[in-house]
Amino acid sequence: MKNIKDKTALVTGGSKGIGAAVGLQLVKKKIGHLILVARPSKAFKDTIALIEASCGPNQKVTAIRADLADSKRTARIAQSLLADGVNIDILVNNAGFTAPKSIFEASFEELQQTMQVNLYAPFLLIQILLQGGNNFSHIFNIASTAGIKGRAGWATYSSSKAALTAMSEALREELLPLGTRVTCLSPGRCATDLRKVLAPDEDPTQIMQPEHVADVMTTLMGDVGHFIDSENIVVRL
């Protein structure tokens, strides 16, 4: 992996699961500034404390408490970073929402909220930062194998992740000539809180752990990643 001590990374959905794991990995790899975005919670507080305890003297962690289901709040995050002169080198769009229900039960509002967190928030963060002059070196969009094949009860979630995968493909082409890599990862079954909502009866110890996905991401941040990330990457145990 390249030297990231002068780099800034922003990870959404940073309180738990894959977001927290990748945040910790980046700090261990000596990132200069880590910004985690998540809704306020005890878990977020604990994660920040854990990551801060791993920080060296020239490393900084910033917590932004925000709900990405609110598009105005999402836009304000990007606008504040620009106003503060912070350049995001690595963006990890990891925050995810799901309310798995059949088409008979799901509400339009749930579809909107799923799209808002899983698709519109990444779009807004990337667009506002780009239009404000931010130079990304690497954008990760965390999609899902659920976006490759829909499953009964997951219409809202699967469609949002399929859209995120397709958006990543378009952005990969658009931004490569401008010097930004766009990597789309689609984890399969991974022991996160979101997975518990999707599959409440599953034993989380028997499936892929968030740290495994974080390992894949830090590997992809190296030059070798160029040879791998030309397509959506499935990560599964």
Partner 1 sequence: MYTLVLLNGGLGVRVGASMPKQLLRLKGVPIFIYPLRIADEIDEITSVVMNFPKGWKDKIETIVKQYAIQTPISYVDPGKTRQASVHQMLDLVETKYTLVHEAARPLISQKDFRQLIEHKADNVTQTQAVPFTVLQKAPGKEQQIGGVLNRASLLNIQLPQKFKTATLKSAHEQAAAAGDTFTEDASAVFSYGDKVSYVTGSERNFKITAKLDVDLAEFLAGRLD
* DSSP string across 90-151: EEEE-------B-TTT--HHHHHHHHIIIIIHHHHHHHHHHHTT---SEEEEE--GGGTS--
How many CB atoms are closer than 10 A to CB 91? 26
DSSP tag of 112: H
Nearer to partner 1 among residue 136 and residue 157 (C-beta)? 136
Nearer to partner 1 among residue 98 and residue 134 (C-beta)? 134
Among 104, 133, 200, 206, binds partner 1 (CB under 8 A): 133
| 3-state SS class at 135 | coil
Q: What is the largest CA-CA distance in the chain?
A: 54
Binding to partner 1 by residue 124, rule CB under 8 A?
Answer: no
Instruction: Tell me which residue of 172, 162, 159, 224 sits closest to 2, measured CA to CA.
Output: 224
Nearer to partner 1 among residue 44 and residue 136 (C-beta)? 136
| 3-state SS class at 51 | helix
DSSP run (H or E) holding 93: strand 90-93
Nearer to partner 1 among residue 155 and residue 175 (C-beta)? 175
Binding to partner 1 by residue 46, rule CB under 8 A?
Answer: no
Binding to partner 1 by residue 132, rule CB under 8 A?
Answer: yes
String marking each residue 160-199 x if it binds partner 1 according to CB under 8 A: ----------x--xx-xxxx--------------------
Nearer to partner 1 among residue 130 and residue 214 (C-beta)? 130
Binding to partner 1 by residue 54, rule CB under 8 A?
Answer: no
Binding to partner 1 by residue 226, rule CB under 8 A?
Answer: yes
The contact set with partner 1 (CB under 8 A) reads 130-134, 170, 173-174, 176-179, 226
